[in-house]
Amino acid sequence: MRWLFLFCMLTSLPAAAAINVFACEPEWAALAQELGGDKVAAVSATTAFQDPHHIEARPSLIARVRSADLVICSGSDLEVGWLPLLLSQSGNGRVQPGSPGYLEASQYVMRLEVPRVLDRSMGDVHPGGNPHIHTDARNIAKVAAVLGARLAQIDAANAATYRSRTQDFDRRWKEAIARWEQQAARLKGVTVVPHHKDFSYLINWLGMREAGDLEPKPGIPPTTSQLAQLVDQMKQAPAKMIVYSSYNDPKAAQFLSQRTGIPSVMLPFTVGGSDKAKDLFGYFDDVIARLTGPLQ
Amino acid sequence: MFRKKWYAAALAAIACSAHAQQSDEVKRLEERVQQLEQRVQESQAQAAARQQSESAFNPAVSATLNGVYANLKQNPDTYRINGFVPTMSAVAPPPRGFSLGESELGIAANVDHLFRGTLIAAIQPDGTGVDVEEAYIQTLALSHGFSVKAGRFFSAVGYQNQIHAHAWDFTDAPLVMKAFLGGQLKEDGVQVKWIAPTDLYLDIGAEFGRGAQFPGATAGKNGAGSVNAFTNLGGDIGAGMAWQAGLSYYQTSPGDRAYDDPLSATANSFTGSSKLWALSGVLKWAPNGNNTVSNFKLQGEYFRRKEDGDLTFDPAGAALADAYKSAQSGWYAQAVYQFMPKWRVGYRYDELSSGATTIGLVDSGALAPASFPILAEYKPTRHTAMLDWSPSEFSRVRLQFARDYSRQGEPDNQVFLQYIVSLGAHGAHRF
């Protein structure tokens, strides 16, 4: 009995001053840090070099969810292979789905590619639509509003700080969006071949066109027959570039690029995916610079 | 509504278009109208997907199918692990030729805001019925790192015992699990676990169970028939590596745990205490922690069991009883490497040590050692190699070779060709 009491004493000690935010992906950790400043300590479960579909439910992640005040993830089943386990193993009632400490970013934006028919023969499709919503900068603004309000709810003592920081972020972000849209104007109508459906929102936002994927089906690694078919297709109607993300195996993109002479472009998947993508602003600056580069 | 407004705006724009510049504007407006139309359609489709329905709260349902082709040098009916008390459970290799493995049916959902429920049933291929593999509830809303599980669950003894067979890296269980846990140890009881509020993962837990399954045997008493205490440590080394180490101590007091000696065909029974220590370690590596292209997994466990009590020879006939004491151990180590997307190779080495078992009936001269042939000292070993191909995360085909020295003097060559697929809800696998 005494040791149990001691445990409870230890565990109910006031947590560090900052609110602990556990983000499944780096973009949400970066956003929480923007909105919370020094009131928030955000960690990301993944990096821009990891495929967020396939993450091990590692002990270190369980330990972090256990002490989190807020869990923010893309949702739409992107993390279905590992997040439910982290939540159920964590022994943390504050961050379970349905509580204020749990936020699925994709629930607050318009999702693309919501399948009408669900069948695994179509690959690793997500019933809720494409989960990689963060590649459209306008979605970040929408999630920022929700996250700012959620932080204010969880940490009421600092609500005013979160509100003013959120407003400030929103202003700077909208200015940046106007700048990015202007810089990306020449990308309108440009056809690209992506590796995976990682950048569907980006392509949609900037008015680009997608001419097939390197993956024969979502989540299925590229096959030689799929690549051969793409080579033929590119000879008929060449795309302007082949894009792959920082966590994709570059071999397939490089193969197609060599066979067709179409440039392949590595895009940071998210914050931290390249030297310049240090924060959310740097991320989109870099993505647009890399996309417009081959057109000059 | 939107459509009308935009058409009106577009028409208005057309009406006053006298200049080329303005017709550009019209074009852009038309484009926007089209975009908006598309959006309205999409949001209608999304709304339709969320219609009311009775089945909206259906739990996550999944099924796992597996089948094996086995080519075995020795008849699996004669399978035994020399030096060790037979567990009287299904630890033998699958039958020769084609056979269907267990078909698993899993149902899981949040019960309410406090509990989550999981049921995993194994449908036996030979028509012997349905086994409840796991059926438990677990708490969701306890805080401070506590969680409680109740029902039937795989006991936290060692590492692999808690993992479902379809997620194992080899077709069959390590020898330590076959010899010390009767294959896989399921416990009916309660588990309490606490996770420390530290960056380094640390959990401490205890299980109180019925102790009905080997190494226990129904004692028919109130209170806990078995107790298991466990702790795990885990963390990351850089972005690419993660590790976990565990220690557990399982104790039970089997009453009249019967076994048939496969070599002499006599029945015997044990009453006393059984204590099992299990030490486990797992290390996983992937370049940058991205396991899609290549990854590596190293896993090992060490088991040590002490049994102390009375052994009764032929309880139905001669019924001679005297002291029995054993200290036995075993370990395995395995490595699995994904060398390119979809393809993995693996190797496992198993070793058991029966130690010298003290049998009072033999020491007193009442019976000859030959009366307990299976308990004679022996050191079973096994080498296993496998190659598997997983076209998606829902299917796997595996080829496995093993040289198995479980039977003294009768080494077995085993070849397995196996498929494992999962249907339905996307399961989450533990570390």
Residues B292 and B357 in one domain: yes
- The dihedrals phi and psi of A165, each to the nearest 5 degrees, come to -65, -40
B141 to A93: CB separation less than 8 angstroms, yes or no: yes
Query: Is position B131 within any domain?
Result: no
Residues B221 and B184 in one domain: yes
Nearest CA in chain B to A205: B35
Chain A partners of B194 at a C-beta cutoff of 8 Å? 7, 91
The pLDDT of residue B265 is 85
The pLDDT of residue B373 is 93
B430 to A94: CB separation less than 8 angstroms, yes or no: no
Chain B partners of A219 at a C-beta cutoff of 8 Å? 392-393
Residue range of the domain that includes B367: 63-100+136-424
C-beta of residue A51 within 8 angstroms of C-beta of residue B290: yes
Amino acid at A295: L
Q: Does B288 touch chain A (CB under 8 A)?
A: yes
CA distance B11 to B18: 13
Query: Is position B174 within any domain?
Result: yes
Model confidence at A279: pLDDT above 70: yes
A90 to B145: CB separation less than 8 angstroms, yes or no: yes
**B194-218 b/e with 16+ CB inside 10 Å = b?**
bbbbeeebbbbbbbbbbbbbbbbbe
Query: Is position B110 within any domain?
Result: no
Alpha carbon of B140: minimum distance to chain A alpha carbons (Å):
6
Helix, coil or strand: residue B64: strand
The pLDDT of residue B1 is 46
Of the candidates A7, A94, A114, the beta carbon closest to that of B194 is on A7
Nearest CA in chain B to A16: B197
Q: Does B51 touch chain A (CB under 8 A)?
A: no
Sign of CA dihedral B271, B272, B273, B274: negative
Of the candidates B39, B201, B429, the beta carbon closest to that of A60 is on B201
Nearest CA in chain A to B422: A120
Residues B190 and B82 in one domain: yes
Query: Is position B311 within any domain?
Result: yes
Q: What is the pLDDT of residues A155-212, one digit of tens each?
A: 999 999 999 999 999 999 999 999 999 999 999 999 999 998 889 999 999 999 988 8
Query: Is position B333 within any domain?
Result: yes
Cis-peptide into B215, omega within 30 deg? yes
Chain A partners of B291 at a C-beta cutoff of 8 Å? 51, 54, 56
The pLDDT of residue B58 is 84
Q: What is the ipTM of this complex?
A: 0.86
Residues B248 and B333 in one domain: yes
C-beta of residue B13 within 8 angstroms of C-beta of residue B25: yes
Specify the CATH superfamily of domain A186-295: Nitrogenase molybdenum iron protein domain (3.40.50.1980)
Number of domains in chain B: 2
Greatest pairwise CA separation for chain B in angstroms: 119
Residues B170 and B298 in one domain: yes
| A157 CB burial (10 A radius; 0-12, 13-18, 19+) | exposed
**A77-87 b/e with 16+ CB inside 10 Å = b?**
bbbbbbbbbbb
A49 to B289: CB separation less than 8 angstroms, yes or no: yes
| A251 CB burial (10 A radius; 0-12, 13-18, 19+) | middle
Nearest CA in chain B to A50: B290
B341 to A7: CB separation less than 8 angstroms, yes or no: no
Residues B21 and B88 in one domain: no
Which bin fits B376, alpha (ψ -120 to 50), beta or left (φ > 0)?
A: beta
CA distance B398 to B390: 9
Mind listing the pLDDT tens digit of every residue in chain B (431 residues)? 445 555 555 544 444 444 555 677 788 888 888 877 777 766 665 554 555 566 677 888 999 999 999 999 999 999 999 999 999 888 999 999 999 988 999 999 989 888 999 999 999 888 888 999 999 999 988 889 999 999 999 999 999 999 999 999 999 999 999 999 999 999 999 999 999 999 999 999 999 999 999 999 976 778 899 999 999 999 999 999 999 999 999 999 999 999 999 998 899 999 999 999 999 999 999 999 999 889 999 999 999 999 999 999 998 888 999 999 999 999 999 999 999 989 999 999 999 999 989 999 999 999 999 999 999 999 999 999 999 999 988 999 999 999 999 999 999 999 999 999 999 888 788 88
The pLDDT of residue B106 is 94
C-beta of residue A254 within 8 angstroms of C-beta of residue A231: no
A59 to B42: CB separation less than 8 angstroms, yes or no: no
Q: What is chain B's Cα-based Rg? A: 29
Inter-chain contacts counted by CB atoms under 8 A, chains A and B: 144
Residues B76 and B16 in one domain: no
The pLDDT of residue A9 is 44
The pLDDT of residue B428 is 80
Residues B181 and B94 in one domain: yes
Query: Is position B108 within any domain?
Result: no
CB-based contacts of B54: which residues, under 8 Å, 6+ apart?
none
The pLDDT of residue B8 is 52
Query: Is position B58 within any domain?
Result: no
Secondary structure, 3-state, A219-276: CCCCCHHHHHHHHHHHHHCCCCEEEEECCCCCHHHHHHHHHHCCCEEEECCCCCCCCC
Of the candidates A64, A96, A249, the beta carbon closest to that of B141 is on A96
Residues B258 and B404 in one domain: yes
Cα of first residue to Cα of last residue in chain A, in angstroms, is 72
Residues B354 and B400 in one domain: yes
Query: Which pTM was predicted?
Result: 0.88
Specify the CATH superfamily of domain A18-179: Nitrogenase molybdenum iron protein domain (3.40.50.1980)
Greatest pairwise CA separation for chain A in angstroms: 77
The pLDDT of residue A1 is 45
Residues B162 and B31 in one domain: no
Query: Is position B114 within any domain?
Result: no
Q: What is the pLDDT of residues A97-129, one digit of tens each?
A: 989 999 999 999 999 988 888 888 888 788 889
Cα of first residue to Cα of last residue in chain B, in angstroms, is 52
Chosen for mutation from B392, B394, B395, B429 (greatest number of chain A CBs closer than 10 Å) is B392
**Residue B414: which CATH number?**
2.40.160.10
Alpha carbon of A17: minimum distance to chain B alpha carbons (Å):
15
Residues B74 and B36 in one domain: no
Q: Does B234 touch chain A (CB under 8 A)?
A: yes
Which of B 194-213 lie inside 8 A of A, CB atoms? 194-202
A4-33 average pLDDT score: 73
Chain B partners of A227 at a C-beta cutoff of 8 Å? none
- Provide the residue ranges of all domains of chain A, joining segments of one domain with +: 18-179, 186-295
